[in-house]
Structure 1
Amino acid sequence: MKFTRKAKAQWKGSGKEGKGTLTTGSKVLENTAYSFHTRFEDGEKGTNPEELVGAAHAGCFAMQLSFLLNEAGFTATTLDVGAKVTFEDGSVTQIDLHLEGNVPDIKSDQFIEIANKAKEICPISKLLNAKIILEATLI
């Protein structure tokens, strides 16, 4: 399977005082604000690249895990995935994935094994040049 997705960024002004917008091809994000303040400080409404990477990684991992669980004969009731993206010295250095899964009839060790495989083969995991740590809990 091959497909492409598009997104667009527009920036106006200097790096610190300027402002920009992000728009995705699906229009889920449409002229969504981002700025130095939304990226490096808190308080201003808007998004930032690291937050979007975290959302993309959490979503991709959850879907990949769902596929692998299905292949093993299980269907998740719920997979809740949080992603904490660490930015340090000009680089994204680490992403912590926090998984809580409700999967009927699966044993904890099998769940953790499948979750680790999902972490390794998730397309977004393979894209990133950062340490990825997975904490998985079967609930």
Structure 2
Amino acid sequence: MAPIERTATGVWRGDIKGGKGEIDSPSGVLQTTPFTYATRFENAKGTNPEELIAAAHAACYSMAFSNYLSQQGHVPDEIETQATITLDNGSINKMHLVTRGRVPGVDEAAFKRFAEEAEKKCPVSNLLRNGLAITLDATLM
């Protein structure tokens, strides 16, 4: 497969606390999407870089897990993953994945084993792994 490139643009105007920013992506999913100090550090409504990283990881892992299961002969009905990222003292240091799935013909032990193997194959996990502790909980629905 040929290399795939994706882009996004982030703009910040002003100082860190009083300024504001916006994020855009060519796909149109992010269109002048605002973010501020408050959305990042004070839980105000809106997005932030950490939320976007967590969303990317959750989506990528769900796809990687589905692909791995399918390669093992077990096409899932559904894989759902929640990613929780931790920003502590100015550093992102942890990502915790909680994944649940419905996979016909797979028991809980096999599901957990497949989940661990799939995490090793997830491109976003592999990008983040060197500077981040990644933990995983897997539950068959």
Q: Distance in 1 between matches of 2:94 and 2:120?
A: 15
Residue 137 of structure 1 is matched in structure 2 by 139
Match of 2:53, SS state, is helix
Q: Distance in 1 between matches of 2:24 and 2:123?
A: 22
Residue 15 of structure 1 is matched in structure 2 by 16
Match of 1:117, SS state, is helix
- Aligned-residue offset at 1:76: 1.0
Residue 40 of structure 1 is matched in structure 2 by 41
Q: Runs of 5+ in structure 2 lacking a partner?
A: none
Q: Distance in 1 between matches of 2:124 and 2:85?
A: 13
Q: Distance in 2 between matches of 1:96 and 1:108?
A: 20
TM-score normalised by the chain length of structure 1? 0.96
Q: Distance in 2 between matches of 1:133 and 1:15?
A: 31
Q: Distance in 1 between matches of 2:22 and 2:112?
A: 39
The RMSD of aligned alpha carbons is 0.9
1:46-92 Cα distance to aligned partner (Å, 9 max, x none): 20000000000000000000100000111111111101111111111
- Aligned-residue offset at 1:23: 0.5
Moved over 4 A (4+): none
Q: Distance in 1 between matches of 2:24 and 2:104?
A: 39
- Aligned-residue offset at 1:108: 1.5
TM-score normalised by the chain length of structure 2? 0.95
Q: Distance in 2 between matches of 1:3 and 1:86?
A: 28
1:95-114 pair list within 5 angstroms: 95-114=95-114
Match of 2:74, SS state, is coil
- How many residue pairs are counted as aligned between the two chains? 138
1:59-98 pair list within 5 angstroms: 59-98=59-98
Q: Distance in 1 between matches of 2:118 and 2:89?
A: 29
Identity of aligned residues (%): 40
